[in-house]
Amino acid sequence: MRIEYVEYFVQAAYEITEELTGAQPSCGPTALREKLVTTQQISIVAGITGKILGQAIYGMSIDTATNLASALIGERLTELDAAGTIALAEFADTITVRGAEGLSRTGFTCDTAPPSVLRGTNIEMSMYFPILVVPINTTCGEIEITVSLGEVGQKAA
């Protein structure tokens, strides 16, 4: 996996969370993982297909998810309900689409699949390509961006 692939998704997350919260997020330490087991209470998984294949996953604590959903909806939620979950899925979809558009501008035409919201930790997901994790700190809390992408026909690591 090339680091440039991930940069489009991280940049999109920065732009969208800054638009949403009015505050610029900051980046935490980047990590490479061999396998993916969710460590966050909420994980939003979006697929990428086309010349680039893989997944983008946006993980966060339930508190961060509730804070973020509240900001997205425009009203304070005390728990993450169905409307909040839908708002989080749309948030992740917007980031993924914007990241895919960045890839497309560089010649890697790709599409996105609608995201799924998973609740729970220790869910193992199969990833074909190397996994890069970039946490971003927002006023709503930390969002862990996990990206596993590769070119069609590329040999898995």
- What CATH number is attached to the domain comprising 44? 3.40.1550.10
Residue 157 lies in a domain: no
Residue 105 lies in a domain: yes
- What tens digit of pLDDT does each residue of 53-68 get? 999 999 999 999 999 9
Residue 135 lies in a domain: yes
pLDDT band at 155 (very low <50, low <70, confident <90, very high): low
Residue 71 lies in a domain: yes
pLDDT band at 86 (very low <50, low <70, confident <90, very high): very high
Residue 27 lies in a domain: yes
Mean pLDDT for the chain? 90
Residue 143 lies in a domain: yes
- What tens digit of pLDDT does each residue of 25-55 get? 998 999 988 888 888 999 999 999 999 999 9
State the residue range of the domain holding 10.
3-151
Q: What is the 3-state secondary structure (H, E, C) of the chain?
A: CCHHHHHHHHHHHHHHHHHHHCCCCEECCCEEECCEECCCCEEEEEEEEECEEEEEEEEECHHHHHHHHHHHHCCCCCCCCHHHHHHHHHHHHHHHHHHHHHHHHCCCCEEECCCEEEECCCCEECCCCCEEEEEEEECCEEEEEEEEEEECCCCCC
Q: Which residue has the higher pLDDT, 149 or 3?
A: 149
Averaged pLDDT for residues 93-103? 95
Averaged pLDDT for residues 103-127? 90
**pLDDT of 128:** 77
Residue 19 lies in a domain: yes
- Predicted confidence (pLDDT) at residue 97 exceeds the cutoff of 60: yes
Give the number of domains in the chain. 1
